[in-house]
Amino acid sequence: MSPRRTSAGGSIDRTRTIRFTFDGEAHTGHAGDTLASALLANGVSLVGRSFKYHRPRGVFSAGVDEPNALVTILREGVREPNIPATQIELHDGLRAESQNRFPSLAWDFGALNQLGGRLLGAGFYYKTFMGPVAGPLKGTRFWMMCEHVIRRAAGLGRADYEADPSRYEHMNAFCDVLVVGGGIAGLMAAEAAAKAGKRVILAEQEKQTGGFARWSGETIDAKPADAWAAEITARLSALDNVRLLTRTAVWGYYDGNTLAALERVNDHVARTPKGHPRQRHWTIRAGTVVLATGALERPIVFPGNDCPGVMLAGAVRRYAGEFGVLPGEKTVLFTNNDSAYQAAAAIRRAGGHVAAIVDVRKQIGDEATALATEAGVVPLTGHAIVGTKGGKALSGAVVQAFDADTGRLSGEARPIDCDSLAVSGGWQPVIHLASQAGGKPVWDAEKQAFLPPEPTQRWIGAGAFLGETGSVEALASGRNAGLKSADKRPSRAKLPETAPSALDLTPAPVLEIRGKGKAFVDFQHDVTADDVRLAHREGFVSVEHLKRYTTLGMATDQGKTSNVPGLAIMAAARGIEIPQAGTTRFRPPFSPVAIGALAAERYGDLKPERLTPLHDWHEEHGAEMTPAGLWHRPLAYAGAGETVEQAYIREASAVRRSVGLVDVSTLGKIAVKGPDAATFLDRVYTNTFSTLKVGKARYGLMLREDGLVFDDGTTWRLGETDFLMTTTTANAGPVMQHLEYCLDILWPDLKVHLTSVTDQWAGAAIAGPKARAVLERCVTGTAVDNDALPFMGIVHGEIDGAPVMICRLSFSGELAYEVYCGAGHGVHVWEALLEAGEPFGITPYGMEALGALRIEKGHVTGAEIDGRTTARDLYLDGMLSKKKSFIGSGLMDRPALIDRNRLRLVGVVSLDGQPLGGGAHLVESGNRDEPGDSIGHVTGYCYSPALEKYIGLALVKGGKTRHGTRAFLSDPLRKRFGQVEIVSHHFFDPDGERMHG
Amino acid sequence: MLIDCPHCGPRDLAEFSYQGDATRTRPDPASTDTQAWLDYVYNRPNPAGRHREYWQHTGGCRAHLVVERDTLTHEIHAVAPVRGNAKSGDAA
């Protein structure tokens, strides 16, 4: 056993040895250890390098507030950076790495930054990287040149490039009472509320409930406090109306008493069991919230306070009490209140040696004196620590006489030999959630702490959260909060008994000892007390400016140990009181949350997907699928040895030569019915539908109210009051919502009913010169010749027994039909069409061929209808009715929208025989290195089998006026530059003879 | 934020879509007053306090609702369906 581990005591299981590695070196710990406690037990004091100066750092706290001991965990193929070692439960095979060091933790090249420390103070970037006003490094160029060096030098852990294979879950929960914090106050509150019949959720961020009672060594109801906590927890778990969530941090408090929590379900085991989530994100809606979130200890700021071996006194007490670990052989305590005396006694009881207690106060009470006596020392009152000795490990502290009233040091500074220094600057209630809920924290000059605000939502505080630090008070306020949450009056029944404490945890108002050397306020972001004063001198005096200028409190720990000291130093610099200096409002999250947990099922295996009725057929026939929103559509049906490009060229050629078949089931379909349906369509489309004959379809264009194009599609008149509208795949949802808005809000008097029927129909478009011949072979119950089914005509019939609706319309420019049938008949009809088309070599085609055919025809899609184009930009002016008003007609004629020099639709042809690129810019200059300003961009491109060239559509300034001119494609990201000719976007069959034939 | 849908009961914000300011008035459809159209489409008051807004219960009954909400506290004072009210906001 390690010399730092006590032979007995604590809640670890000494019979179970756990093996883990830190920076590749093998260590052992015990069941119940955290990574931090195990490292301390192994005598590892150096665990990381600091953010900016690369200073050696060690474990500073024992909980969620840890600013220093951040490590990277390598687990199940993923590296997760910046995890506090104090929050990692030790398990077999755990692999952890230190961060921000090169080549190794002990010999770190970046530590040279310390020599330049004066240069790297607050505002360093802003001051240093304001480039010269002229020359090659003008403006931000100097910064850009230096950035990649600096980004490597400063920072913490490195994220992974690999995708996170873990699964995350999202859970919604409802309860009458949510108790946040499973310490003794929270446990009492939960039991009181549960006994009153309320549905209770108790969330505790650590692995088990009990909080402070787990290591305090106190007695409650004549039992060790941890045993008492275990008993009440067992009683609660037995209740049906109580849900206990451990390893669950409530991190956000939102409107309507909605709270967010993160449950670390499987981070404490070596391997996530199959089917389990790694973490679970909870959204909890609570009638009442009991905030029993406790308090966190603050450090005192003094020179050299970041040396590995300096820790919070409460943390030292916890390591001794819970883990049986002594952080050093000789410990000095430094304090401004009585809580360090409890830590001193705990060290002594665990068999450690206390070298000194240094107290800034002149006098201490009897109980503290008794604890000091138990620890075997006479407190050095009226003294302060003014420095530390040691580099990678503490070897001593420097002490000097100090007057707490004047802040003056006097007498000679003398060293004390020690390898551990425990500091207490008093306690700050964890008021983050109360602040998030709304309301400003209140500074209490007596307690020297921010207390919770008046509730602005339904929450009740309990325990140390209220600024009361004793267990007697916690038991009472916990029970009262539980009763109050159940609308019951405080009870006079006997509370669990525990010894009242006479200790004075109210700190003397000393949070900084000034002296020579760097004194850190925010360890994680390397913000020193001098940085705070520098911010003051440079005018960044408001709390919000201080925070942003120095980055104080902006690291992953969100300033849990640094906020109050930082504020105190700024207040002192300004000569005002802390409440006048203000406090920042806390924002979620209280502790870091993985983005994967927030995304939960919206990413990965459980992401919703929409599949057409033909999906399986596509996959069975070799289609490469491509996502289109939530849909999956076939990209191309590449055969053996065929590339996607070869496949789509083959498919598109087949359509032009003979006949092809494509799945169009994803198009949005909306049934528009009712006596006013035609009137309604006249108002939402730019063109007229009331004149459309039953049994005919019409292409329609929709604008937004601002006059820009919204969507296009065909709408079919199936009956006098019965229309079937189709929309683009991407806009099916937005169009539906737009139509509903119009009916609900603009024209509630119109008698129209809308139903989304996208999923009810399967659709196949059959296109090519032989399309009609194919239909003639398989359609029964109707003729399909030019008289029965003219362009834009609709007929009803059957294909192999399945009822179908056929509309003759064309996206490809060929003679083409869209065949719709009930979704359940989709595959049946599709296969019947293929069978009928066999003599003509019918070819299924995918999105790439569909795209090539439409580009050849100059048809627009979402790439051109990009929310910035007008109907005129797309040369669809003819669609704008002059006889009526419609959505968008009020603003579509604004001068800037009818400017002839706008980006307008053209065709482009590659002159160098190379492909164009989607999104590539067009320029006038042929100088590849100085291409000049863009005149437009390519919206879609393909190889045109009909033209045997690479062509594209583009939006270009002036549009048609540039037909016949040349320009250059400039695509530096893809290292492509080449000449193009600007032509009409109607590349192929401009008069439409083929589709009308 | 919870919105008490008159058709479906109190539901989470995630089920609703914000559909804009309910205090604006759409010009007469045939109006050629560009300024009136610009005001309707672009210009919005941004009150700190109570405000009337359209919300659509997209994840539920899909009805549009007029929600009176405090923009400072997110407190909701009133929820009513647009349809069935004397007049809708835009038409008023």
Residue A168 corresponds to which amino acid? Y
Q: Which chain B residues touch A744 with a CB distance below 8 Å?
A: 56, 63-64, 82-83, 88
Q: Using CB atoms within 10 Å of the CB of residue A510, give its burial: 0 to 12 exposed, 13 to 18 middle, 19+ buried.
A: buried
pLDDT value of position A948: 95
Q: Identify which of A672, A663, A606, A655 has the alpha carbon closest to the alpha carbon of residue A633.
A: A663
* Residues B58, A737: C-beta atoms closer than 8 Å: yes
Q: Which of B27, B32, B88 comes nearest A745 by C-beta? A: B88
Q: What was the pLDDT predicted at B89?
A: 44
Q: Is B50 on the interface with A (CB under 8 A)?
A: no
Cα A814 versus chain centre, distance: 47
Q: Is the dihedral angle over the CA atoms A527, A451, A368, A228 positive or is it negative?
A: negative
d(CA B29, CA A909): 43
Q: Which structure tokens are listed for A567?
A: 């504020």
Does A705 sit within 8 Å of B12, measured CB to CB? no
CATH 3.50.50.60 residue window(s) in chain A: 166-298+426-505, 299-425
Residue in chain B lying closest to A438 (CA): B73
Say if residue B87's pLDDT is above 60. no
Q: Do A706 and B17 touch (CB under 8 A)?
A: no
Q: How far apart are CA A165 and CA A333, in angstroms?
A: 45
Token code pair at residue A140: 């931000």
- What whole-number distance in Å separates Cα of residue A733 and Cα of residue A788? 34
Cβ distance B62 to A748 less than 8 Å, yes or no, reads no
Bond into A103 cis (ω within 30): yes
For chain A, residues with pLDDT lower than 70 are 1-2, 103, 109-120, 124-134, 136-155, 604-606
SS3 A828: helix
pLDDT value, residue A132: 65
CA-to-CA separations, A152 to A156, A159, A790, in angstroms, rounded: 9, 13, 68
Q: Is residue B91 part of a domain?
A: no
Q: Does residue B20 lie within any of the structural domains?
A: yes
Burial bucket for residue B30 (CB in 10 Å: 0-12, 13-18, 19+)? exposed
CATH code, B57:
3.30.2270.10
Inside any domain, residue B13: yes
Pick the CATH number of A1-162 from 3.40.50.300, 3.10.20.440, 3.20.20.30, 3.40.309.10: 3.10.20.440
Contacts of A745 in chain B (CB under 8 A): 19, 54, 64, 82, 88-91
Chain A: residue whose CA lies nearest to B25: A746
Question: CB–CB of A737 and B38 under 8 A?
Answer: no
| B75 in any annotated domain | yes
Of the candidates B17, B27, B54, the beta carbon closest to that of A890 is on B27
CB B52 within 8 A of CB B82: no
Contacts of A886 in chain B (CB under 8 A): 29
Closest by Cβ to B62, choosing from A438, A740, A894: A740
Residue A806 CA to residue A810 CA, distance in Å, equals 12
* Paired residues of B3 in beta bridges: B11
Phi, psi of A991 (to 5 degrees): -90, -5
From the CA of B82, how many Å to the nearest CA of chain A? 7
DSSP assignment string, A263-318: E-SSTTSSSPPTT--SEEEEEEEEEEEEE---EEE-PPB-TTTTSTTEEEHHHHHH
Look at chain B and report how many structural domains it folds into.
1
Contact A748 B83 (CB under 8 A): yes
Instruction: Decide if B6 touches A, using CB distance below 8 A.
Output: no
CATH of domain A514-592: 1.10.10
Round to whole Å and give the CA distance between A329 and A308: 14
Domain range spanning residue B61?
A: 2-81
Would you call A256 and B83 a contact, using CB atoms and an 8 Å cutoff?
Answer: no
Domain A900-996 fold: Elongation Factor Tu (Ef-tu); domain 3 (2.40.30)
Minimal Cα–Cα distance from A163 to chain B, Å? 27
Q: What is the pLDDT of residues A249-302, one digit of tens each?
A: 999 999 889 999 999 999 999 888 988 999 999 999 999 999 999 999 999 999
A11-22: string of b/e by CB count within 10 Å (b at 16+)? bbebeeebebeb
For CATH 1.10.10, list the domain ranges present in chain A.
514-592
**Which helix (H) or strand (E) element contains residue A832?**
helix A826-837
Query: Distance, in angstroms, between A825 CA and closest chain B CA?
Result: 29
Kindly state whether residue B92 falls inside one of the protein's structural domains. Answer: no
Beta bridge partners of residue A150, listed in sequence order: none
Residue B89 falls inside a structural domain? no
- Rounded to 5 degrees, φ, ψ at A204 are -125, 130
Residue A745 and residue B56: Cβ atoms within 8 Å?
no
Closest listed residue to residue A964, CA positions, set A948, A943, A983: A983
Query: Does the beta carbon of B63 lie under 8 angstroms from any beta carbon of chain A?
Result: yes
Task: Give which of A404, A422, A249 is closest to A341, Cα–Cα.
Answer: A422
Using the beta-carbon criterion (under 8 Å), do B73 and A744 form an inter-chain contact? no
Q: Which CATH number fits domain A299-425: 2.60.40.4070, 3.50.50.60, 3.40.50.620, 3.40.605.10?
A: 3.50.50.60
Number of H helices, E strands in chain A: 23, 50
The pLDDT, as a whole number, for residue A152 is 61
Question: Which of A745, A881, A898 is the best residue to mutate to test the B interface, defined by the most B CB atoms within 10 Å of its own CB?
Answer: A745
Give burial (CB, 10 Å; 0-12/13-18/19+) of A405. Answer: exposed
Q: How far is A280 from chain B (nearest CA, A)?
A: 19
Q: Per CB distance under 8 Å, which residues of A are interface residues toward B?
A: 254-256, 258, 283, 285, 438, 456, 683, 705-706, 737, 740-741, 744-748, 885-886, 889-891, 894
Look at A891 and B34 and tell me if their CB atoms are within 8 Å.
Answer: yes
Specify the DSSP element, H or E, that contains A147.
Answer: helix A141-153
What's the pLDDT band for B73 if we cut at 50, 70, 90?
Answer: confident
Give the best residue of B7, B25, B32, B37 to mutate against chain A (max A CB count within 10 A). Answer: B37
CA gyration radius, chain B: 14
B23 close contact with A: CB closer than 8 A: no
Taking alpha carbons only, the member of A649, A651, A656 closest to residue A770 is A656
Per CATH, the homologous superfamily of domain A166-298+426-505 is: FAD/NAD(P)-binding domain (3.50.50.60)
- Quick check: A107 and A54 in contact, CB under 8 A? no
Residue B21 located in a structural domain? yes
Q: Do the Cβ atoms of B40 and A256 come within 8 Å?
A: no
B90 and A746 in contact by Cβ < 8 A?
Answer: yes
Residue A698's nearest CA partner among A823, A953, A881 is A881
* Residues A315/A204, Cβ–Cβ less than 8 Å: no
Distance separating alpha carbons of residues A247 and A258, to the nearest angstrom: 19
Shortest Cα distance, chain B CAs vs residue A250, angstroms: 18
Gap between the Cα atoms of A494 and A716, Å rounded: 78
pLDDT in tens, A124-161: 666 666 666 667 666 666 666 666 666 666 667 888 88
Residues of B in contact with A747 (CB under 8 A): 91
Distance from CA of B92 to the nearest CA of A (A): 10
With both helix axes pointing from N to C terminus, report the angle between A313-323 and A339-349 in degrees, rounded to the nearest 10.
30
> By the 8 A CB rule, do B7 and B16 touch?
no
Question: Phi and psi dihedrals of A194, rounded to 5?
Answer: -65, -40
B35, part of any domain:
yes
Q: Tell me the CA distances in angstroms from A394 to A375, A511, A678, one per residue in order.
A: 21, 21, 84
Q: What is the CA angle A756-A761-A763, rounded to 5?
A: 125
Q: A240 Cβ partners below 8 Å, 6+ apart? A: none
Given CB atoms, is B91 within the 8 Å cutoff of chain A? yes
**Which of B37, B63, B74 minimises the CB distance to A891?**
B37
- Across the interface, whether the CB atoms of B29 and A891 are under 8 A apart is answered no
Min Cα–Cα distance to chain A from B37, Å: 6
Shortest alpha-carbon distance between residue B32 and chain A (Å):
6
Three-class SS state of A774: helix
Q: Which CATH architecture has domain A668-758?
A: 2-Layer Sandwich (3.30)
**Residue numbers in B near A683 (CB within 8 A):** 29
Q: Do B91 and A456 touch (CB under 8 A)?
A: no
- pLDDT band per the 50, 70, 90 thresholds, residue B88: very low
Quick check: A73 and A324 in contact, CB under 8 A? Answer: no
> Is the CB of residue B4 less than 8 Å away from at least one CB of chain A?
no
